[in-house]
Structure 1
Amino acid sequence: MDKEAQKQRSKLKRRERWSRIWGDGKQRWVFITFALAVVLGLLLYFVIPRAPGVNWGDQTSSTALTSTNTSGTYSTTPTNFDFSAEVALDFDARGSYIPTKLYDLEAIIYDLDTTVQIGTGKMDGSAKLPGRSITTVTMPLLFQMSFTNTSDTTYSDVIRSCTNSGNSFPLTLSFTYKISGVIGSKSAKLQSQDLTCPVTLSLSS
């Protein structure tokens, strides 16, 4: 009987120690639920993708526009211009812990001074954005617009910038894009006075 009583007392003591540490059944469930919520919150923090920030390639606008090795032309009658280029963009995904995919990247190009549209851009396919890093993406641009006459300020701005090398080419690029795992389209806007025209336009005959 003494041994049996000792066993019972030992069992009761273990239960008491367990209860002091973990509480009763209801308290244990509260603790477990809270712990699971914390773990789930941490898990979601690390696995939910985030929309990246957008900047000029290499964080500078002066070299962001490059030529596509195709000639560009402009005309006075009719009044228009037509040339292509590429823009380098840095997508900052350092806020994400998992890789994501960039797709449906499009742009509308405006004259920075007159705010008139002078071109568009679209990236074919998609691009992988590794987490915790900055990825440079290149997007084709098409500068193509017609005007009433050569006195149009926007037309004059483009011709002045793109017929003489070294002249500034002030632009606004307005982007829309999608990120896998992120609901809806995202938008961004970049502006710069420091861009230079990547082509030298020639007068079409």
Structure 2
Amino acid sequence: MDYDHDRKSGVSSFYGDRRPSYDALHNPAAPNAPTHRARADSSSSFFNPNAGLPPGAGGGAGYNRQSYYDVGRQEPVKGMGYADDPAEPAGDEWDVYADFNNAGPRYSTAFGMGKNDASYRPINSPQPSSYSQKGPHIDEPQTPGGNVELVTVPALGPEWKASELRDMTSAGRREKNAESRKMYWKEFNRGERGLFGVRWLGKRFIVFFCFGFLVAIGIVLAFTIPREPSFLFNNNKPLQGATGWWNSSIPTQFSRSPTNFSFPAFADIQVNTNENYLPLTFSKLDATVYDLQTTKQVAFGKLNKTTVPAKEYTSLQIPLNFTYSAVNTSDQTWTQWHDGCENKGISTNGTRPAVQFRLVLEMAIQGLIGTKSVSTTVTNANCPIELPMNAS
């Protein structure tokens, strides 16, 4: 079987021949013509479709611009008022900003505005209106071509609904506010809304902020909250003799009838504030002395508001007023303190018996709630005073 690769397409209708019939009964007999046409260059048929055809055959359309449907002019269509179009007369160009900057034409003089402006353009009526002929201005002359003003009449809205009337009542407003709060809370829980309308003030931010705030407060309180101090007592001489104004404010005496004694003294103590970062202030510091054997109170004293520095040992002297009354000289408490404070010359070996007592300190510190108390027991203390030789 021979293949002719340079032949034209077998579709003869494409090149202008009559379309063959596919009906076998109406298919005309083939003409007595050679079965093979002359060879022709396929590339030349693109530019010369009639090449290689026998004489008398119809010419084909070929590939040229004139063989297709004319779609119209190819250049841009003008005639829209372009300045460079000679077919159109030059006129006012349309300004898109005219309606926004009040530069456009005015068609109404409502409220006395725009009538004298150059942009005012009255609309002429071809004939008088029926209202002008029948209305209250019937006496006024009506001429064709009179000015017509454009007036916008607001449309009437619908009547109030029952729900709208309820929304205007106090109960309706309360319901709307409750519904708004409920919706706000739901949106806040879903993370769609933050506090005060700020989106990023959501639950996560509040949790981290509260955690950081509590940590900061804890750090600040760790340095600012005062700690309860510790006290040190002078073991050698816990009671000191009174001096200055305190010595002259209380008389020194031991009386047998009535049985009593009184004298001033100081309690010598030290305050340890090493655990405090800020100065410590005592709003109240009271001292009470009890006899160690009979547990009866023999002295009381207090110190006014006092501030001590931090991280130091500070010495304090609390003024004490020793005062005690008994029924007779056989009272054990009176006897013990009388013997401990007698003159050294009366004793055989020049040594007085020691006094024994319990010292209780009760204090109130600024920055701490309530009162604190500490106590100490002294078993070998010297009396802070010495009675004269002729004392009874």
The answer to whether TM tops 0.5 is yes
Aligned-pair identity (%): 32
Residue among 188, 195, 203 paired with 2:374:
188
1:21 matched to which residue of 2? none
Q: Deviations over 1:88-108 (max 9, x none)?
A: 121222221111211321122
Quick one: structure 1 residues 43 and 113, their matched pair in 2 at CA, closer, same or farther if it must change by over 3 Å?
A: same
TM-score (norm 2): 0.42
Residue among 128, 132, 139 paired with 2:311:
132
1:49 matched to which residue of 2? 226
After superposing on structure 2, the runs of 4+ consecutive aligned residues of structure 1 that deviate more than 2 Å are 25-40, 69-72, 164-167, 201-205
The answer as to 2:326 corresponding to 1:147 is yes
The answer as to 2:245 corresponding to 1:66 is no
2:214 matched to which residue of 1? 37
Letter in 2 for 1:144: T
Residue among 349, 361, 366 paired with 1:175:
361
Aligned residues, how many?
177
TM-score (norm 1): 0.76
Structure 2 residues not aligned, in runs of 5+: 1-201, 345-351
Letter in 2 for 1:142: N
Q: CA deviation at 1:86?
A: 0.7
Contact 1:55 / 1:190 at 8 angstroms: preserved in 2?
no
Q: Which has the larger radius of gyration?
A: 2
- Which structure dedicates a bigger proportion of its chain to strand? 1
1:163 matched to which residue of 2? 342
Letter in 2 for 1:183: I
Q: CA deviation at 1:178?
A: 1.2
Higher relative contact order (CA 8 A, sep 6+): 1
In 2, Cα distance between the equivalents of 1:130 and 1:90?
12
Partner secondary structure for residue 141 of structure 1: strand
Q: Deviations over 1:20-71 (max 9, x none)?
A: xxxxx98777666544433322221111112222231xxx322221111547
In 2, Cα distance between the equivalents of 1:77 and 1:39?
67
Q: CA deviation at 1:72?
A: 2.5
Q: Deviations over 1:119-178 (max 9, x none)?
A: 11122x322121222221111111111101111111111011111455311111122121
In 1, Cα distance between the equivalents of 2:269 and 2:256?
33
Partner secondary structure for residue 218 of structure 2: helix
In 1, Cα distance between the equivalents of 2:206 and 2:297?
61
Letter in 2 for 1:181: G
- Which structure dedicates a bigger proportion of its chain to helix? 1
